[in-house]
Homo-oligomer: A and B are copies of this chain.
Amino acid sequence: MAVRRLLKVLDGETLTPPPIWLMRQAGRYLPEYRQTRQQAGSFLDLCYNPELATEVTLQPIRRFGLDAAILFSDILVIPDALKRNVTFSEGKGPAMDPIEVSDIASFSKVDVLPHLCPVFETVKRLRAELPQETTLLGFCGAPWTVATYMIAGHGTPDQAPARLFGYNHPQAMEELLATLADISADYLVAQIDAGADAVQIFDSWAGVLGESEFEKFAVKPIQRIIASVRSRRPGAKIIAFAKGAGLLLKDYRQKTGADAIGLDWSVPLSFAQELQKDGPVQGNLDPMRMVAGGKALDEGIDAILQALGNGPLIFNLGHGITPQADPENVTKLVNRVRGFKR
């Protein structure tokens, strides 16, 4: 089998140059994505269409030869599988029926896996079609982040409804997060069984939590997912990305049991270096540098390579690439990273 470089970094190796992939690399900034997108009905239809989801996942690999492909899907397929009436509308973001405390008990009784079968089929096709050396990543949303949408019924600037729910109903919140953790673990195990080499857990809203809530609502459920996945699939490789967690990342890898942690672009590189002493890190270029290009792009890349290139690093953005990004800048990024020498 060809060497999957990203997996070596997850084992703690330092590779030069570091492997690279980009969050949301299959997305609207690519003309070929926009074309395929038109062939699907809704956004969720695309997520559940193995043929088209495979196609869009492969597009950035064909174009840029990135080290990893990430399954095209969405973190909200879980509430969708829980029949929360999830919709995505252009420009307005996702929406669903907001939950009540009394809804929570029913969630653990739903077998979500049949609904998610098309996702596993996509993973299977991807592993068959990807180059041998390309790592295939599966993923899910972190329970806290998924819960913020399920509670508010939509995105908000600081997920205040979910924070309030946590204060008002601490036990119901813990039950919801534990249930989502168990469902997510099943979901990740099925992705691994279908052929995912590693998985990433996205906690996009970890940054709105105070210290004690971060522990209860962000760390604990991810611990639970990872322990559950590893008990069934020993050695499963897992990246945890807690956006905006700042200082609370200090012992996040240790506490959650993740192999590597993702860093957003606000994480200072000196702190990232400290974190890297404990284990592999992934990140953390500001996605806006991919829009700006030129000097802003080169300087951003070089700063990360300088600071983190001498340890276990997966080069990535600090958040998803945006629709305005120029695909030409991805080529430049990949070339520059691949040209790095220690």
A residues apposed to B, CB below 8 Å: 157, 160, 163-164, 167-168, 170, 207-212, 244, 246-248, 265-271, 286-289, 291-292, 296, 300, 303, 318, 322, 324
Give A271's nearest chain B residue, CB to CB. Answer: B247
B266 and A207 within 8 A (CB)? yes
List chain B residues, Cβ under 8 A from A247. 246-247, 267-268, 271
Can you list 8 A-B contacts with CB-CB less than 8 angstroms, sorted by A residue number? A167-B289, A167-B296, A168-B292, A170-B296, A207-B207, A210-B300, A244-B244, A247-B267
**A242 to chain B: closest CB distance in Å?**
12
Interface of A is mostly: helix
Provide the bound-state CA to CA distance between A138 and B30, in Å: 48
Q: How far is the CB of A310 from chain B (nearest CB, A)?
A: 18
Q: Please name the 9 residue pairs, one residue from A and one from B, whose CB atoms are nearest each other, closest first.
A: A246-B246, A167-B292, A167-B296, A211-B268, A163-B288, A164-B288, A210-B265, A168-B292, A210-B286
Bound CA span A286–B300, Å: 33
Given contacts A244-B244, A292-B168, A296-B168, contact A208 B160 (CB under 8 A): no
Find out whether the CB atom of A266 lies under 8 angstroms from the CB atom of B168. Answer: no
CA distance A266 to B300 in the complex (A): 26
